[in-house]
Structure 1
């Protein structure tokens, strides 16, 4: 009898352990599924917010750059007011002898004036003649024949 009671107790213990372990496994599986779905939703929302933030930041930077460039172009345009083909305006920036240089060129029907004194008539170029005719034209950016960056 004792042997049979021990076997029954052992069988009952094994059954209780199996039921307990199955319950724990089911609970962990449900918890994992719920948490992974929530984590996935959080990660998706975070990614979308991050991309939106980056897009807004990019638009703000481009807007600031455009406004800054507009102010610079207005200042440069104001320096061209009294330019004639006969000479350089006093408002042209002084160019360094060596190193990087910014050369400004004024093109009109009367001729071409460059801030560095170069005499190169570019009025016959297609983009310049189009602009002089009152139409929109784009000149640059590219490297010209002298390997200068032109805009």
Structure 2
């Protein structure tokens, strides 16, 4: 392409990330003029790196360099920490978030349930200002996974 803009760069980065070629995505990201980089560019890179434990450090470094962050940025980092079993890091990010949404809470509840800390998951669930079906299902799945359910027949 002779003329490239943020849409074309972001489309390529997203495609590389989805295809699993994070190195190519990074080359494209690094070649972007700074004025073309936006939240979509940064979030695509963070989500791509945060998918695997070896990339979590790189995702965190990019997260720190971001000129601005949104809920997606924060949730990508928390999700990456949860998926890699780094709940202390996820909790630190969660505590630092300026604003939380249902996705943020659901990630934390799911993460604690996955490591067997249903007590912490339930405390977060009880603390939530608003719940939806996804969070309720995450809490129920946490109980089931950890053998904390009783089936009653009447």
Instruction: Report TM bin, short chain.
Output: under 0.3
**RCO higher in structure (CA 8 A, sep ≥6):** 2
| TM-score, normalised via structure 2 length | 0.27
Which protein has the bigger strand share? 1
| TM-score, normalised via structure 1 length | 0.27
Larger Rg: 1
